[in-house]
Amino acid sequence: MKENRRRARAIAIAATEKHSRDAWLRLGYMTGFVILSIGLGFALVG
């Protein structure tokens, strides 16, 4: 019983770590996309 609880907690921790890593990747992609869009806009205007 205690072993199952420990395994469940390890799985939950791994899941949250993977989720936060995906969120950081998504945030990085969005930031890069915004910077790229602004750079393209300035290049087109200038």
Helix (H) or strand (E) holding 43, with range, is helix 2-45
Structural domain boundaries, residue 19 = 1-46
Q: Radius of gyration (Cα) for the chain, nearest Å?
A: 20
Query: What pLDDT sits at residue 32?
Result: 97
**Statement: the pTM of the whole predicted model exceeds 0.85:** no
2 has a pLDDT exceeding 90: no
pLDDT band at 24 (very low <50, low <70, confident <90, very high): very high
- Which burial class, exposed, middle or buried, applies to 8 when counting CB atoms under 10 A from its CB (0-12, 13-18, 19+)? exposed
pLDDT band at 46 (very low <50, low <70, confident <90, very high): confident
6 has a pLDDT exceeding 80: yes
Looking at residue 39, its amino acid is G
1 has a pLDDT exceeding 80: no
Query: What pLDDT sits at residue 3?
Result: 86
As for how many domains the chain has, the answer is 1
